[in-house]
C-alpha cells in the first residue's frame, strides 16, 4: 500500500535505519543521503519517509510531501554551496528508475550537458 513501508524496498530500509547511508539532512517527512554511485561531485538522493513507488504517485497522493522533497533538494544544494545544480526524478524503468521509492537526485559541482543520457 502506498505510504506504508515496504519490506523489499531499499530506501524504506534506509529510512528505518536497517541499512546504513551517509545521511546529510533529515526532516519530519524526508531523508537526504549521498548516492553510493555518484554521477557528480555532489550527488544526493532526497526521499520521502513514506513509500510511494514514483514521484508521480507521491505528487498525486501527497503534494505537500512532494514539495518538501523539492525544498530539501534546494537545502542540500545550499549546504554544498552549489551555484547551479540539477534535480532529477526518474519515473519508471524506461527512464532509469531502479529503486521504486520516489526520490530526487540532486547533482552538481560540475558542468551538466543537455540533453541528459
Residue 44: per-residue pLDDT: 98
Q: Is 103 one of the annotated active-site residues of the chain?
A: yes
Q: Residue 1: pLDDT band by 50, 70, 90 thresholds?
A: low
Over residues 31-42, mean pLDDT = 97
Residue 40: per-residue pLDDT: 97
Residue 14: per-residue pLDDT: 98
Residue 27: per-residue pLDDT: 97
Domain boundaries, the chain: 7-40+62-91
Q: 16 pLDDT exceeds 60?
A: yes
Share of the chain above pLDDT 70, in %: 98
How confident is the model over 46-93, as pLDDT tens digits? Answer: 999 999 999 999 999 999 999 999 999 999 999 999 999 999 999 999
Among 58, 54, 59, which Cα is nearest to 92's? 54
Q: Which one from 51, 101, 103, 105 is the annotated catalytic residue? A: 103
Residue 2: per-residue pLDDT: 73
Residue 9 vs residues 17, 20, 51, 68: alpha-carbon distances, Å:
12, 14, 9, 21
**CATH number of the 7-40+62-91 domain:** 3.30.428.10
Rg (CA), the chain: 13
pTM for the model stands at 0.95
Amino acid at each position: 500500500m502506498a505510504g506504508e513501508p515496504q519490506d523489499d524496498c531499499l530506501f524504506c530500509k534506509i529510512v528505518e535505519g536497517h541499512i546504513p547511508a551517509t545521511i546529510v539532512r533529515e526532516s519530519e517527512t524526508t531523508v537526504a543521503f549521498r548516492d553510493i554511485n555518484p554521477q557528480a561531485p555532489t550527488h544526493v538522493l532526497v526521499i520521502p519517509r513514506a513509500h510511494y513507488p514514483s514521484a508521480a504517485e507521491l505528487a498525486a497522493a501527497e503534494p505537500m510531501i512532494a514539495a518538501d522533497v523539492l525544498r530539501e533538494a534546494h537545502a542540500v544544494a545550499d549546504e554544498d554551496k552549489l551555484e547551479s545544480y540539477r534535480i532529477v526524478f526518474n519515473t519508471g524503468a524506461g527512464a532509469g528508475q531502479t529503486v521504486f521509492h520516489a526520490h530526487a537526485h540532486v547533482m552538481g559541482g560540475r558542468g551538466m550537458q543537455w540533453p541528459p543520457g
